[in-house]
């Protein structure tokens, strides 16, 4: 929707013009799945789909919301913030306000219009884009002196403690700090990061939504978190020096992995080798070796399917379709799994044929009509003043 139309809708709802327009992107993770909450490494990019928030202050200490996706309004008072059971979509704004107040930041009321371009439940991190957009709204309108890494930590805290998803820190990180044309290599423990140029001449990343929607609060995502905590406790008895699963080397795993239960062994094996794949992927990007990157993607998907057990029949089918298509170098599920999207590395001239094959084979076998998204490595969240006031 055009900015002019959004401003017009804002004026109709709030009887005034917005002072700011805030935009925060969704993300795609190129490789490094379920490693973030284990203190490991990830390699996401921001995508060219944004949550748009048109905002202005109010004097009522209320946050008023209107979401165009749901065509619903909601509001809450800053002196009485509680998780909402009916209109759960506004819990993200509630959570952000709560963590800011708990951290001692002085904030006041906002009137917000939300228009999100990020598909919900597709594994493209619509939730993190909403959290970062909300946080940036408070920061800009109330002149909060808050550094980027603190913003990322607070946004994650809101999703962990208020919304109830025990996510890692990657999604909020990518939504805020991504850079156009680059992947973001993040050490999720130290929070050190660096940009890695994406330049596979003639090849692009391309995403297919399986249309199997994920509900992470109710899904097995939190169960996988618990599996990893249990495995860490078991491995810590063997190697007391480790503080997270990322500390287990391949040599450690080969020597001691057999002492774990079968489930714990599978979970640890995925994390150990997935972290290694991320580090290899960074070098592959530097060398512009598209074929090698594609092979790492296939390895990652197989591990997520057989060891971490977060794939689905639909996601596996999409990966297999890619393997049989000329010009496709790699494919893997992206995001937490249990539905959502598959990302492909495909020759630019072969993208349309891949789409046709997916529409034919996947739709016939599943009865679902997939959606496709071109992946443009984009910049992170930003704010702009509304000049049309």
**Active-site annotation, residues:** 171
Exposed, middle or buried by CB within 10 Å (0-12, 13-18, 19+), for 223?
Answer: exposed
CA distance 378 to 124: 13
* 84 three-state secondary structure: coil
Query: In the chain, how many H helices and how many E strands?
Result: 11, 12
CA distance 200 to 193: 22
Is 315:342 a contact under the CB 8 Å cutoff?
yes
CA distance 18 to 20: 6
Phi, psi at 157, each rounded to 5°: -60, -40
Q: What b/e sequence results for 238-276 when a residue is b if at least 16 CB atoms lie within 10 Å of its CB, and e otherwise?
A: eeeebebbbbbeeebbeebbeebeeebbbbbbbbbebbb
The residues near 100 (Cβ < 8 Å, ≥ 6 apart) are: 107, 135, 138, 144, 154
Q: Is 184 left (phi over 0), alpha (psi -120 to 50) or beta?
A: beta
**Residue among 96, 127, 95, 97 at smallest CA distance from 109:** 97
CA distance 374 to 204: 9
List beta partners, residue 23.
52, 382
CA distance 98 to 127: 16
CA distance 333 to 311: 7
């Amino acid at each position: 929707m055009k900015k002019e139309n959004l401003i017009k809708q804002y004026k109709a709802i709030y009887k005034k013009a917005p002072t700011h327009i805030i935009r925060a992107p969704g993300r795609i993770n190129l490789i490094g799945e379920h490693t973030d909450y284990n203190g490991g490494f990830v390699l996401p990019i921001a995508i060219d789909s944004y949550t748009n928030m048109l905002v202005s202050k109010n004097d009522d200490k209320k946050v008023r919301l209107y979401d165009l996706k749901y065509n619903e309004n909601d509001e809450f008072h800053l002196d009485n913030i509680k998780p909402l059971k009916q209109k759960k979509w506004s819990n993200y704004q509630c959570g952000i306000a709560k963590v800011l107040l708990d951290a001692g930041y002085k904030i006041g009321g906002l009137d917000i219009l939300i228009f999100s371009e990020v598909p919900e439940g597709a594994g493209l991190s619509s939730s993190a884009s909403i959290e970062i957009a909300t946080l940036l709204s408070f920061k800009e309108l109330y002149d909060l002196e808050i550094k980027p890494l603190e913003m990322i930590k607070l946004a994650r805290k809101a999703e962990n403690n208020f919304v109830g998803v025990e996510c890692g820190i990657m999604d909020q990180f990518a939504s805020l700090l991504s850079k156009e044309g680059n992947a973001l290599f993040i050490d999720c423990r130290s929070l050190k990061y660096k940009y890695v140029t994406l330049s596979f001449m003639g090849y692009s990343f391309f995403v297919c939504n399986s249309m199997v929607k994920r509900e992470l609060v109710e899904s097995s995502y939190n169960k996988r978190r618990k599996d990893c905590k249990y495995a860490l406790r078991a491995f810590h008895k063997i190697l007391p020096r480790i503080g997270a699963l990322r500390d287990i080397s391949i040599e450690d795993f080969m020597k001691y992995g057999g002492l774990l239960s079968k489930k714990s062994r599978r979970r640890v094996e995925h994390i150990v080798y997935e972290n290694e794949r991320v580090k290899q992927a960074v070098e592959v990007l530097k060398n512009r070796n598209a074929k090698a990157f594609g092979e790492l993607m296939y390895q990652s998907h197989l591990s997520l399917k057989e060891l971490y057990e977060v794939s689905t029949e639909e996601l596996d089918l999409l990966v297999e379709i890619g393997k049989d298509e000329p010009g496709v170098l790699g494919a893997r599920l992206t995001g937490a799994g249990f539905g959502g999207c598959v990302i492909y590395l495909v020759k630019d001239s072969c993208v349309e044929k891949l789409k046709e094959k997916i529409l034919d084979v996947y739709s016939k076998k599943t009865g679902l009509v997939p959606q496709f998204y071109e992946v443009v490595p984009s910049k992170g969240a930003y704010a702009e003043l509304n000049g049309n006031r």
